[in-house]
């Protein structure tokens, strides 16, 4: 039997460190499903694992794409399943790690299928984004589909526009197309979640942002300024500094916004991941031996 052990939890909680320990213990390879770490131009602001971490266990889907490429969750689902097929010929356990809930679900459960929408709907929404700002689109999504509003990353304009175009173009909520029967997988998923008190999570996020700045986040974002319109760069840590470089906000406020938006993102991550009642939750300081014991019990019970 093949097992996909997936490590989930809020940003900055320690998922990377745990994934490496589990990969070493189970002689497994790691698939990253962090949708921001796919892009080779984005290193500091996405907290890509350090070189020594990448060398500690085989990793896949880390900085393997360019921000110039159109890369969606659908592309990732197909490529990840192909990689899993190969890996399961060598190992019966693979580790998957990342905080992108939609990408986790795509691999484990399969994607939902949405209707084809007239491209003019997206064009109009993009025009509104430029003229009215993101808040206007967020408000409309909350009115049309409150369930989706409370689930997706509402600071991500690409996600907001995608949900709105389905609502407007189909006359039905985006959420109504979700959770339909999917194609069965040839592996058994085991989800391991890391948690901590909110104050601890927020403190870890704030410290991570400070470390990013020390490593040269400003310089990294400056180097990408000419490409700031690309979807991959419409994300926390880049968007705020682009605003600073545009002269619309000052630097200190940009940093405070990065921290605030990262905390909001972490809250939404937890909301998403806690929907799965089968997740094995552990404190972020839990001894890895106890986590391994719990995983072994689950696999034995399923034999």
Is 178 assigned to a binding site?
Answer: no
pLDDT at position 181 is 67
CB-CB neighbours of 69 under 10 Å: 12
Is 17 assigned to a binding site?
Answer: no
Domains of the chain and CATH, by start: 3-111+182-301 (3.40.50.300), 119-177 (1.10.20.140)
Please give the average pLDDT of every successive group of 10 residues along the chain, which has 303 residues. Answer: 96 97 97 96 96 97 95 92 96 94 92 87 93 94 95 87 95 87 86 97 97 98 96 94 97 98 94 93 97 91 59
Is 9 assigned to a binding site?
Answer: yes
Which pair of tokens denotes residue 267?
């809250």
Beta pairing partners, 224: none
Is 299 assigned to a binding site?
Answer: no
Measure the CA–CA gap between 113 and 188, rounded to whole angstroms. Answer: 23
Please check whether residue 282 is in contact with residue 293, taking contact to mean a CB–CB distance below 8 angstroms.
Answer: no
Please check whether residue 115 is in contact with residue 166, taking contact to mean a CB–CB distance below 8 angstroms.
Answer: yes
The DSSP-derived string for 191-236 is EEEEE--HHHHHHHHHHHHHHHHHHTHHHHHHHTGGGTTSGGGSST
Which is nearest to 37 in space by CA: 241, 232, 262, 264? Answer: 232
CB-CB neighbours of 195 under 10 Å: 20
pLDDT averaged over the chain? 94
The structure's pTM equals: 0.81
Is 16 assigned to a binding site?
Answer: yes
Measure the CA–CA gap between 68 and 232, rounded to whole angstroms. Answer: 8
Torsion of CA 286, 288, 293, 296, to 10 degrees: 130
Q: For 30-59, what is each residue's pLDDT tens digit? A: 999 999 999 999 999 999 999 999 999 999
Q: With pLDDT > 90 as the criterion, what percentage of the chain qualifies?
A: 84
Please check whether residue 276 is in contact with residue 12, taking contact to mean a CB–CB distance below 8 angstroms.
Answer: no
Please check whether residue 78 is in contact with residue 72, taking contact to mean a CB–CB distance below 8 angstroms.
Answer: no
Is 101 assigned to a binding site?
Answer: no
Judged by DSSP in three states, 115 sits in coil
Is 232 assigned to a binding site?
Answer: no
Is 21 assigned to a binding site?
Answer: no
pLDDT at position 299 is 84
């Amino acid at each position: 039997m093949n097992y996909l052990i997936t490590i989930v939890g809020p940003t900055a909680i320690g998922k990377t460190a745990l994934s490496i320990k589990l990969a070493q213990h189970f002689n497994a390879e790691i698939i990253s499903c962090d949708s921001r770490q796919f892009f080779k131009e984005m290193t500091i602001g996405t907290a890509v694992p350090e070189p020594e971490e990448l060398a500690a266990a085989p990793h896949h889907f880390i900085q393997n794409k360019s921000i110039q490429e159109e890369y969606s969750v659908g592309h990732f689902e197909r490529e990840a399943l192909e990689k899993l097929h190969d890996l399961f010929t060598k190992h019966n356990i693979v580790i998957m790690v990342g905080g992108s809930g939609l990408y986790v679900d795509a691999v484990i459960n399969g994607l939902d299928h949405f209707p084809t929408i007239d491209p003019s709907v997206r064009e109009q929404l993009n025009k509104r984004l430029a003229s009215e700002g993101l808040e206007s689109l967020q408000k409309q999504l909350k009115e049309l589909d409150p369930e989706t509003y409370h689930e997706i990353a509402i600071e991500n304009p690409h996600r907001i526009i995608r949900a709105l175009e389905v609502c407007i173009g189909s006359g039905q909520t985006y959420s109504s197309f979700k959770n339909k029967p999917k194609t069965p997988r040839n592996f058994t998923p085991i989800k391991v979640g890391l948690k901590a008190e909110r104050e601890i999570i927020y403190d870890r996020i704030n410290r991570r942002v400070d470390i990013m700045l020390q490593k040269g986040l400003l310089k990294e974002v400056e180097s990408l300024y000419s490409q700031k319109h690309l979807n991959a760069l419409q994300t926390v840590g880049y968007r705020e500094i682009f605003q600073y470089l545009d002269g619309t906000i000052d630097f200190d406020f940009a940093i405070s916004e990065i921290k605030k938006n990262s905390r909001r993102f972490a809250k939404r991550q937890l909301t998403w991941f806690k929907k799965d009642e089968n997740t094995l939750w552990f404190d972020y300081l839990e001894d890895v031996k106890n986590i391994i014991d719990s995983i072994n019990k689950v696999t034995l019970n399923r034999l």
